[in-house]
């Protein structure tokens, strides 16, 4: 019988369990997008997860969304990440880097550049900047001949990730960031080969994934998707058709996995499970919604055909989450005020379960 604690083979990796630590922005990087010793301790504390997916890492400066986030586009950044991956591996863990190009969800005060996107359509809401939240600015629409270089930026960052010691990479194709913007029917109003039809709107995602798989190997390349999600004001038309077509193209690449968020109804998600022949990581609850993934939600999706289950916020206050899930121990609550405040409080200060002596 398959459970959360049954091992799983993911490419060349032998996972000891099916618990995945989901990517979560924590804005603890040093100036210059460098990983820090505190980040090494944070991830190493959670190395009992079958797989860790890092916070979103910008593949280029113009791809940076939030201040205080790390990058993988310089030699200095690569060097800084080696301490993180080394600490995770020393504790017996496995870690993928999530590559996140923010696209229009950025600000000149953060990067020094006007954000870019598929079209000159701003995101909905306020974006984070070094001086606090500000209205999302108007992005510059990428020219047709510029689009491939942004797809290639994921591949270049993936090479750096492997050089930094990561076991693989996950392309952030969800939650209203650049890949998601190209999939969208309202953020992407292009009339060239990257816009309009389903075939055209999935093209950027496929090109980014293909370039990355070519750079570091398909078995080291995954992608996260949020079918029907409305983050940052994106809207998607014909969600089942759009994502079925996307998964059909991605299946030709034989990627390590697809990581789905529960942003659509179960019947849509189950249809996508049937459409995807490879490993499926399922995040069973709406990201940043009122519920957190728990054992009940995890077991339900394992029964529905998911191979691995990702847990996000539960990992913040529970570095020993796998053991707590295994033994039925209480899941400690996290202090939301410390999610993005920086420093070690609410980051390294959560203990393992205090067993009685």
**pLDDT tens digits, 299-325:** 999 999 999 999 999 999 999 999 999
Q: How many domains are there within the chain?
A: 1
Residues of the chain above pLDDT 90, percent: 95
**Structural domain contains residue 58:** yes
- What's the rounded Cα separation, in Å, for the pair 129 and 126? 9
Q: What is the pLDDT of residues 276-290, one digit of tens each?
A: 999 999 999 877 666
Catalytic residue flag (residue 177): yes
**Structural domain contains residue 349:** no
Beta-bridged to residue 173, according to DSSP, are 225
Check: CB of residue 250 under 8 Å from CB of residue 290. no
Question: Average pLDDT, stretch 58-83?
Answer: 98
Q: What is the CATH number of the domain that holds 44?
A: 3.20.20.70
pLDDT of residue 333: 93
**Structural domain contains residue 263:** yes
pLDDT band of residue 293 (cuts 50, 70, 90) is confident
**Structural domain contains residue 49:** yes
Which long-range contacts link 199-202 to residues 24+ away (Cβ below 8 Å)? 199/245, 201/242, 202/242, 202/245, 202/246, 202/249
Check: CB of residue 258 under 8 Å from CB of residue 276. yes
- What's the rounded Cα separation, in Å, for the pair 333 and 296? 17
**Structural domain contains residue 146:** yes
**Structural domain contains residue 344:** no
Question: Which residues constitute the domain of residue 327?
Answer: 8-338
pLDDT of residue 290: 67
pLDDT band of residue 237 (cuts 50, 70, 90) is confident
Positions of E strands within the chain: 8-10, 13-15, 19-21, 51-57, 95-99, 116-117, 126-127, 134-135, 140-141, 168-173, 221-225, 257-261, 280-283, 308-311
Q: pTM of the entire structure?
A: 0.97
pLDDT band of residue 356 (cuts 50, 70, 90) is low
Whether 228 shows a pLDDT value over 90: the answer reads yes
**Structural domain contains residue 348:** no
**Structural domain contains residue 167:** yes
pLDDT of residue 91: 98
Whether 96 shows a pLDDT value over 90: the answer reads yes
Computed over every residue of the chain, the mean pLDDT equals: 96
Q: What is the pLDDT of residues 118-167, one digit of tens each?
A: 999 999 999 999 999 999 999 999 999 999 999 999 999 999 999 999 99
pLDDT of residue 172: 98
Of 42, 177, 257, 347, the catalytic one is 177
């Amino acid at each position: 019988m398959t459970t959360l604690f049954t091992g799983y083979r993911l490419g060349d990796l032998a996972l000891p369990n099916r618990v995945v630590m989901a990517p979560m922005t924590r804005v603890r990087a040093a100036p210059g997008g460098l990983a820090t010793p505190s980040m090494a301790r944070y991830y190493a504390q959670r190395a009992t997860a079958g797989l860790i997916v890092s916070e979103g890492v910008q593949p280029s400066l113009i791809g940076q969304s939030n201040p205080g986030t790390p990058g993988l586009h310089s030699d200095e950044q690569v060097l800084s990440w080696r301490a993180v991956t080394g600490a995770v591996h020393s504790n017996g863990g496995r870690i993928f880097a999530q590559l996140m190009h923010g696209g229009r969800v950025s600000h000149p005060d953060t990067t020094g550049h006007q954000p870019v996107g598929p079209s000159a359509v701003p995101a909905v809401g306020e974006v984070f900047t070094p001086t606090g939240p500000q209205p999302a600015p108007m992005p510059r629409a990428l020219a047709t001949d510029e689009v491939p270089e942004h797809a290639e930026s994921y591949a270049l960052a993936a090479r750096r990730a492997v050089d930094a010691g990561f076991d693989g990479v996950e392309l952030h194709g969800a939650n209203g960031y650049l890949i998601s913007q190209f999939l969208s029917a309202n953020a992407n109003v292009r009339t060239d080969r990257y816009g309009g039809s389903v075939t055209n709107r999935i093209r950027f995602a496929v090109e980014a994934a293909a370039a990355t798989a070519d750079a570091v190997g398909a078995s080291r390349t995954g992608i996260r998707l949020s079918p029907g999600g409305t983050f940052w004001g994106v809207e998607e038309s014909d969600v089942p058709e759009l994502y079925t077509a996307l998964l059909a193209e991605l299946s030709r690449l034989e990627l390590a996995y697809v990581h789905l968020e529960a942003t659509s109804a179960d019947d849509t998600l189950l249809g996508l499970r049937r459409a995807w022949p490879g490993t499926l990581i399922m995040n069973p609850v709406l990201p940043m919604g009122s519920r957190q993934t728990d054992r009940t939600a995890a077991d339900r999706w394992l029964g529905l055909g998911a191979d691995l289950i990702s847990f996000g916020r539960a990992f913040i206050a529970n570095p020993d989450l796998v053991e707590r899930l295994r033994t039925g121990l209480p899941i400690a609550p996290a202090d939301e005020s410390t999610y993005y405040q920086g420093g070690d409080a609410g980051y390294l200060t959560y203990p393992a379960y205090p067993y009685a002596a």
